[in-house]
């Protein structure tokens, strides 16, 4: 490793770790990932698990990570749903929302004292789209009407698909937004990776400078692009959806490319 890169790595006080493809694959930890978290704890270096998946709550991720052997409390997980709630509550406290999202996302937004309504009569302050695994045509109809009427359009994350193991993918928030965009002729403002609101949220909570953070992830257009957009160090792991040729072709260039997080263990003993 180049000396300047090693120096940068040694300055990191907070690692932002993607989940699927980075610390686990499906329901199995990536070999060396548990050791990496253990090493960070021992060295007093912070870490957060960052996910764009807005269909599940932080508590559900804590349960999943704990079952795999990661020692993690709810304060270690940041979801795009949480950041969306934080952002909207800051924009307009108590805002009225129509949500194309799961019951879990609605609960997350309500926890930020936002008013999630099923009956959108009289209009809403924002239409929020998420990774809606409970999507119905009726929800789309209401959202399109509100958007066509001018309601601000917020989306939790731009991912087109979500990996579900063994090279299988299911439609994610980005794909639902393509439908809404085409039907309503409106473009959403995205909150999750690679948009810097995720980092704004973390900085507001943890008071860490961009220079002291590094993002580790497998997806170039979200994880690595977040590093580029927020001017924080980015480390691409080849244990998920990207290989060397994808990295070479990507407009988002990671500072470091490694096979798996296990390669970082020698630096944090």
**Cβ closer to Mg ion: 18 or 125?**
18
Our CB check for Mg ion shows the closer of 106 and 219 to be 219
Alpha helix positions (H), 103-214: 103-110, 137-148, 173-184, 197-206
Residue among 20 and 172 whose Cβ is closer to Mg ion: 20
Instruction: Enumerate residues 6+ apart whose C-beta is below 8 A from 119.
Output: none
Taking the complex as a whole, the smallest distance from the CB of residue 236 to Mg ion amounts, in Å, to 11
**Triad 242, 133, 215: Cα angle to 5°:** 35
**18 part of the active site:** yes
Residue 218 or 255: the one with the smaller Cβ distance to Mg ion is: 218
Q: Counting contacts by CB under 5 A, is residue 21 touching Mg ion?
A: yes
Least Å distance, CB 222 to Mg ion, is: 8
Does position 172 bind Mg ion by CB under 5 A?
no
Residue selected from 14, 15, 20, 87 as contacting Mg ion according to rule CB under 5 A:
20
State the number of CA atoms in the 13 A half-sphere of 38 facing the CB. Answer: 11
Give me the least distance between CB of 231 and Mg ion, in Å please.
21
CB under 8 Å to 203, separation ≥6 — which residues? 209, 210
CA distance 74 to 57: 10
Q: From 233, 209, 172, 250, select the one nearest 17 (Cα to Cα).
A: 233
How big is the site for Mg ion, counted in residues (CB under 5 A)? 6
Q: Which of residues 207-266 bind Mg ion (CB under 5 A)?
A: 218-219, 240
Q: For Mg ion, which stretch binds (CB under 5 A), given 17-25, 68-76, 168-176, 193-201?
A: 17-25
Kindly state whether residue 18 participates in binding Mg ion, applying the rule CB under 5 A. Answer: yes
Both structure tokens of 217: 């992830």
| Rounded Cα gap, residues 157 and 52, in angstroms | 6
Q: Which of 20, 125, 132, 223 is catalytic?
A: 20
Q: Tell me, what DSSP letter sits at residue 64?
A: H
Give the residue at shortest CB distance from Mg ion. 21
Minimum distance of Mg ion from residue 172's CB (angstroms): 12
DSSP string, 40-53: HHHHT-EEEEEE--
CB of 18 to Mg ion, least distance (A): 4
Residues that bind Mg ion (CB under 5 A): 18, 20-21, 218-219, 240
Active-site positions read: 18, 20
């Amino acid at each position: 490793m180049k000396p300047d890169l090693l120096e940068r790595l040694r300055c990191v006080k907070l690692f932002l770790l993607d989940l699927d493809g980075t610390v686990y694959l499906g329901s199995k930890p990536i070999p060396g990932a548990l050791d990496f978290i253990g090493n960070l704890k021992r060295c007093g270096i912070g870490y957060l698990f960052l996910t764009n998946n807005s269909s599940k709550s932080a508590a559900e991720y804590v349960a999943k990570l704990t079952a795999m052997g990661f020692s993690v409390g709810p304060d270690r997980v940041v979801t795009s749903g949480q950041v969306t709630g934080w952002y909207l509550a800051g924009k307009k406290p108590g805002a009225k929302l129509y949500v194309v999202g799961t019951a879990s996302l609605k609960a997350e937004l309500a926890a930020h004292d936002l008013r999630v309504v099923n009956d959108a009569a009289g209009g809403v302050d924002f239409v929020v789209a998420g990774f809606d695994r409970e999507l119905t045509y009726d929800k789309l109809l209401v959202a399109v009407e509100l958007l066509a009427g001018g309601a601000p359009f917020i989306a939790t994350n731009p991912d087109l698909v979500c990996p579900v193991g063994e090279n299988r993918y299911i439609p994610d928030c980005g794909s639902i937004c393509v439908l809404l965009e085409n039907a309503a002729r409106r473009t959403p403002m995205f909150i999750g990776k690679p948009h810097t609101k995720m980092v704004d949220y973390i900085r507001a909570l943890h008071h860490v400078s961009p220079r002291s953070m590094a993002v580790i992830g497998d997806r170039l257009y979200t994880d690595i692009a977040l590093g580029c957009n927020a001017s924080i160090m980015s480390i691409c792991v080849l244990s998920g959806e990207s290989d060397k040729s994808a990295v070479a072709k990507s407009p988002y260039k990671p500072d470091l490319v490694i096979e798996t997080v296990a390669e970082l263990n020698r630096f944090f003993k």
